[in-house]
């Protein structure tokens, strides 16, 4: 037997107030419709639930039995609604999110911003605070409880933080502006790059540390000619023909297609980098962080 919950809801209010007219006012429903639904319910259950008289209605023995169960169910529904209201009240907080400066605008625009938009729509009372900093500083902020969650860049195999989730993996490409297009004709070695001006994120970032160690492993010194504050600036300076530099293929794709920059092939394989989401395990905003984290992970699959 499958009876609409709406039937039981109307039955509850008629039984509670012992009146069809009162139930119709509370439910903003017409009295004829209330009567029709009760008749349908009695027909479905094949028994009388109410005894009607000029003084109103009274429950039959079967109606009394049904009301006991429906009343309990109604209380549970009310408790559920109350818990949802309380949950929303708990979200009247702030949520701090850190973004590594190595996170490029393409990832932010295509993957992260749509999620933040949906989250803000669901929880408009949560104040979102965005923090941009280097990966090492963001990890420090998480460990000190200053930030609830962060999206960082890290090298595959390195454990950045105990509570982390890998969102994406990639290998950088080496690129140069129009005057460096001639370098696309053959593979270069890392040792060849010291003859050209290198553009990179500033010292203290995960990206700088990555290439400093890579060059060191090959007996080379990593000394960028220009150090920038953002990946967007790296791209701008490369497109401006001021040198060569490393960046994610997704970020370089459009500029390469428009022939603003050119991919320079390398003989050595660059390390695999990862975009990771790290969380503060002692965050006071556990529920906020967990919900947003799940939404970001679902979008990144």
- What's 154's domain CATH number? 3.40.190.10
As a whole number of angstroms, the distance between CA 254 and CA 265 comes to: 18
- Quick: pLDDT tens for 266-275: 999 999 999 9
Per-residue pLDDT tens over the stretch 211-260? 999 999 999 999 999 999 889 999 999 999 999 999 999 899 999 999 99
- Provide the domain limits for residue 217: 173-269
Q: What share of the chain is helix, strand, coil (3-state, %, to 5)?
A: 50, 20, 30
In this structure, the answer to whether residues 140 and 216 fall within a common structural domain is: no
Q: Answer whether residue 82 shows pLDDT above 70.
A: no
What is the pLDDT, as a whole number, of residue 288? 83
**Average pLDDT of the segment spanning 130-159:** 88
286 and 156 belong to one structural domain: yes
Closest CA to 148 of 290, 279, 294, 292: 279
158 vs 189, higher pLDDT:
189
Residue at 87 is within a domain: no
Q: What is the DSSP letter of 187?
A: P
Same domain for 163 and 280, yes or no, is yes
The answer to whether residue 18 is domain-embedded is yes
Higher pLDDT, 94 or 249: 249
pLDDT of 265 higher than 80 = yes
Looking up tokens 């990771």, which residue turns up? 276
Helices (H), 166-220: 206-217
The CATH number given to whatever domain includes residue 48 is 1.10.10.10
Asked if residue 227 belongs to a domain, the reply is yes
Q: Are residues 163 and 278 in the same domain?
A: yes
Task: Please report, for residues 93, 168, 238, 285, 289, the alpha-carbon distance to residue 277 in angstroms, rounded to integers and kept in the order given.
Answer: 21, 10, 29, 16, 11
Q: Are 262 and 175 in contact (CB under 8 A)?
A: yes
> Structurally, how many domains does the chain consist of?
3
* Inside any domain, residue 17: yes
Indicate yes or no: pTM above 0.85. no
Q: Within this chain, do residues 48 and 68 fall inside the same structural domain, yes or no?
A: yes
Residue 76 and residue 31 share a domain: yes
Answer whether residue 264 shows pLDDT above 60.
Answer: yes
* Per-residue confidence (pLDDT) for residue 195, from 0 to 100: 93
* C-beta of residue 103 within 8 angstroms of C-beta of residue 275: yes
Predicted pLDDT at 22: 85
Q: Is residue 110 assigned to a domain?
A: yes
């Amino acid at each position: 037997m499958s009876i609409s919950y709406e039937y039981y809801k109307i039955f509850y209010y008629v039984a509670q107030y012992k009146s069809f007219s009162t139930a119709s006012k509370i439910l903003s429903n017409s009295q004829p419709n209330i009567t029709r639904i009760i008749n349908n319910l009695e027909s479905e259950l094949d028994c009388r639930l109410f005894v009607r008289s000029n003084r109103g209605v009274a429950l039959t023995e079967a109606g009394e039995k049904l009301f006991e169960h429906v009343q309990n169910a109604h209380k549970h529904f009310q408790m559920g609604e109350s818990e949802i209201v309380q949950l929303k009240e708990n979200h009247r907080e702030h949520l701090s999110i850190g973004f590594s400066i190595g996170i490029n605008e393409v990832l932010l625009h295509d993957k992260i911003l749509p999620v933040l938009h949906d989250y803000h729509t669901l929880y408009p009372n949560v104040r979102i605070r965005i923090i941009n900093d280097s990966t090492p500083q963001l990890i420090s902020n998480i460990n000190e409880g200053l930030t609830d969650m962060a999206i960082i860049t890290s090298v595959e195999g390195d454990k950045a933080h105990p509570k982390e989730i890998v969102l994406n993996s990639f290998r950088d490409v080496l690129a140069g502006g129009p005057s460096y297009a001639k370098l696309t004709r053959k593979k270069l070695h890392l040792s060849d790059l010291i003859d050209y001006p290198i553009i990179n994120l500033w010292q203290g970032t995960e990206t700088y540390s990555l290439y400093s160690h890579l060059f060191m492993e090959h007996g080379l010194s990593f000394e960028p000619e220009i150090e920038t504050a953002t990946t967007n600036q790296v791209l701008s300076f490369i497109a401006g023909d001021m040198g060569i530099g490393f960046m994610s293929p997704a970020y370089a794709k459009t500029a390469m297609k428009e022939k603003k920059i050119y991919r320079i092939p390398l003989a050595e394989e660059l390390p695999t980098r990862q975009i990771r989401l790290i969380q503060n395990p002692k965050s006071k905003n556990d529920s906020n962080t967990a919900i947003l984290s799940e939404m970001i992970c679902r979008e990144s699959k």
